[in-house]
Amino acid sequence: MVEQAWSIERYFEFVLLLLFSTGIAFQIPVIQLILSFLGIISSQTMLSGWRFVVLGAVILGAILTPSTDPLTQSLLAGAVLGLYFGGIGVVKLTGR
């Protein structure tokens, strides 16, 4: 007998979680620019805490991906890290 693993409700919850987390992740460079323009944090400070960001990205990848394979988790963590380091590059270009 075939048993249904997902319901429509769980599917929509997953899609909304994925859309929300993607939207938040793409705000990382914007938040970095705002914080640097306000003088709260500099690009050097952001670079000095890269180890914590890598740890956070890996944990975030493990929580937000629906599967347990490391490839999907690594892809999400890599995207978050790319946005973070790209944001640092933009902050450096602005001279902050």
User: Taking 80 as the threshold, does the pLDDT of residue 67 lie above it?
Assistant: no
**Residue 64 has what pLDDT?**
82
pLDDT band at 37 (very low <50, low <70, confident <90, very high): very high
Distance from C-alpha of 64 to C-alpha of 49, rounded to nearest angstrom: 22
**Residue 86 has what pLDDT?**
96
C-alpha distances out from residue 60 to 50, 53, 79, 87, Å: 15, 10, 11, 18
How many beta carbons lie within 10 A of that of residue 33, not counting itself?
15
